Amino acid sequence: MGSGRRRRRTALSSTATDLFAQTFGGAPTHRAHAPGRVNLIGEHIDYAGLSVFPMAVQRGITAHFRPRTDRTVRVLNLNRKYDRRTFTIDDSFTPYTDGDWGNYLKAAAQELERDHGPLSGIDAVIESSLPVAAGLSSSSALVVNIAVSLLHASGVTVNTSRLAEQLAEAEQFVGTRGGGMDQAICLGAVAGCASIVEFDPLRLTPVDVPRDWHFVIASTRTPAEKAGAMQEAYNSRRRATEEALYAVIAHLDTPRGVSSYRELLVELARADIHEIAHHVLGGTLLKRFRHVVTEAVRVEAAAQAMGARNLERFGVLMNESHVSLRDDYQVSTPELDQLTEIACEAGAAGARLTGAGFGGCAVVLVDAPRVTHVCQALREGFYQARQLVGSIDDYLFVATPSGGATVTALS
């Protein structure tokens, strides 16, 4: 399966280079690569300022680009579903229509021009080995890719942490209020490791992934779009977590100076937090709050489990996370539930949805001897009855913990 993917990437790169020459004349001078990511645990809590535990994967977004002498950006996508986009970098960026892929290009350019301009333009051809809207951060990988391409073309260097924070803000141009995990791991990942990502200030702490641990990515085939109704569902959960926090803080009977989930978890015992929440909150707000505080605890425990090479413990935490996301945060789907159930019944240590939910992918933890069996169970129990477009490798693959974004010169 691995050699087939390498051949496919080589063919895509050749096609990208040919398309560049046909469209722009000559050859690209540089290649930028930004990885996708799989969040192992810590879902929907980065925007609450709480630590998360993702890793970059071997698949991602690649741009074959050439700097321009003016401020025009011209970008083609090998996927013909996405039309060519051309714009000028200036002080006013008018968005394309809602959901247009070009808004991610403009998001990067606008944020960088504001803080690091004037920027030079680029000509670029984009190719992707990530499934779109699968919860593997293809959108953030695109933003990061264009950002590092524009910075390189302009001769500008930006600290990784600062750039990650700026690009998290940049994505609000497309209407999604994320939390910064995707940009941080896409830029700062270390090969062979997952990373604990902390916020305010941003900090990444690599943790070695044991070599006999395998994280299998299984797609539902249902896009996890962050546009339209799904975008509002995503944003409404962020608003609910903030509303629940404020209600709990207002109920505290001593002036503790608590203003965030992180401070709340430091200042109060967990039992006290849950007691106050059940007294103050109800219904949806209680569910959202409960997910946030329990997920934060699971992140800490999962990092310790990986450090101790305790696969069984890590798997239990993944299962608990999925239940919380399904029942309290209400972002799972029947397909995600089915994938996790099939995997666990086949011998996986644990499984959970990854990314925003509402579709996308599940991530499955398997020890080395069971990988083939679990993947076969998923093929037979989930994919066999569904008509697939393309190769099974587009929907089911083993993730490799990979490094962050790079720009390389082409000879």
Which residues are known catalytic residues? 182
The residues, any chain, with a CB within 8 Å of residue 340's CB and separated by 6 or more, are 319, 322, 351, 352, 353, 362, 364
CA 384, CA 374: separation in Å to the nearest integer?
A: 14
CA 328, CA 309: separation in Å to the nearest integer?
A: 29
CA 295, CA 279: separation in Å to the nearest integer?
A: 20
250: burial class by Cβ within 10 Å (0-12, 13-18, 19+)? exposed
Q: Which tokens is 138 given?
A: 């293809």
The residues, any chain, with a CB within 8 Å of residue 326's CB and separated by 6 or more, are 332, 336, 337, 353
CA 145, CA 12: separation in Å to the nearest integer?
A: 17
Geometric angle at alpha carbon 410, from 404 and 411, rounded to 5°: 145
User: Measuring CA to CA, which residue among 312, 317, 273, 326 is closest to residue 298?
Assistant: 317
Helix (H, G, I), strand (E, B) or coil at 94: coil
CA 2, CA 20: separation in Å to the nearest integer?
A: 27
Rg (Cα) of the chain, in Å, rounded?
A: 21
The secondary structure of 214-261 as a DSSP string is EEEEEE-SS----SHHHHHHHHHHHHHHHHHHHHHHHH-SS-----SH
Beta-ladder partners of 41? 53
Give the chain's length: 411
